[in-house]
Amino acid sequence: MKLKLAIQKSGRLSEDSIKLLNDCGIAVKNGGNLLKTSAENFPLEVFFLRDDDIPQYVQDGVADIGIVGENVLYEKCKDVAIVRPLGFGKCRLSVAIPRNESYNDVKFLQGKKLATSYPFLTAQFLRKHRIEAEIHEISGSVEIAPGIGLADAVCDLVSSGSTLFMNGLKEVEVILESQAVLISQERLDEDKVALLNRLLFRINAVKTAKKNKYVLLNAPNDALETIFSLLPGMKSPTVLPLAETGWSSVHSVLPEEEFWEKIEALKHAGAQGILVVPIEKMIL
């Protein structure tokens, strides 16, 4: 028995999805025009699909699980469950208007024409704010719509904002913050759930590792208590005596978001020879 996973064939999430599997020790190749392949060392079958189709394939049971952007998931409104956010493919679905237009609030959109590839989410946003506007659904090159007179504004995905800028637009409203998520059928059988849990165990180890750094430092013994208070680690720091009397080597883990503040405090407390090492996997 194999767990069937649907991922994007090409585009924003494809490379990161393959990388995640490889980081989990699951060897998957995506060469040429493959539509389906099997992992070499894990009971996993991978389908390469258009991202718009992934929620449907998972709902219908063709695939057991899938990796898809929240923007696509919420636009398609399929009966699937979100298993876990994956932290890559981050973007936002936003309303943008020509840069030379003045914008105070969403009332600007009243009676306007909006071009978008996300008609459901756009309509939902307009209803929420009680705005009546005309939606033009187009499949690509949304940013060009105001420049050719097709629309007064657009609702499209934004990452850096450079594409909007190059097309003379400015972002004025964020409708949805999006990232890649792992989704599954609402009801997987017991055997498939067991396989999914094995996969999640690996994903969690990889994702936790990316949020932490392994830190090694030397410290005088009379500063250890202060050092310990700054380095809680997973349970407690590892301490090893050095050849030099009165000194110890301290090993611990620091969360990425606290890293620089902690390092400065450690130096102030007397730590020396601080080494920082990336963590490949972290099992809690």
Whether 29 is covered by a domain: the verdict is yes
Residue 195: in which H helix or E strand, if any?
helix 190-210
Q: Residues 78, 22: one domain?
A: yes
Say how far apart CA 280 and CA 269 lie, in whole Å.
29
Decide: 37 and 29 in contact? Cβ < 8 Å: yes
Assigned domain for 284 exists? no
Q: Is the separation of the CB atoms in 180 and 88 below 8 Å?
A: yes
Which tens digit of pLDDT belongs to each residue from 22-79?
Answer: 999 998 876 657 789 999 899 999 999 999 999 999 999 999 999 999 999 999 999 9
Q: Are residues 35 and 159 in the same domain?
A: no
CATH code for the domain of 166:
3.40.190.10
Q: Are residues 15 and 77 in the same domain?
A: yes
CA dist 204 to 37, 74, 192, 200, Å? 24, 24, 18, 6
Range of the domain at 137: 91-178
Domain count of the fold of the chain: 3
66 and 24, same structural domain?
yes
Q: What is the dihedral of CA 256, 262, 267, 273, to 10 degrees?
A: -30
The percent of residues in the chain predicted with pLDDT above 90, rounded, is: 82
- Tokens linked to 100: 């030379």
Q: In this structure, what token pair is assigned to residue 215?
A: 């830190």
CATH code assigned at 266: 3.30.70.120
For 138-188, what is each residue's pLDDT tens digit? Answer: 988 899 999 999 999 999 999 888 889 999 999 999 999 999 999 999 889
- As a whole number of angstroms, the distance between CA 120 and CA 74 comes to 9
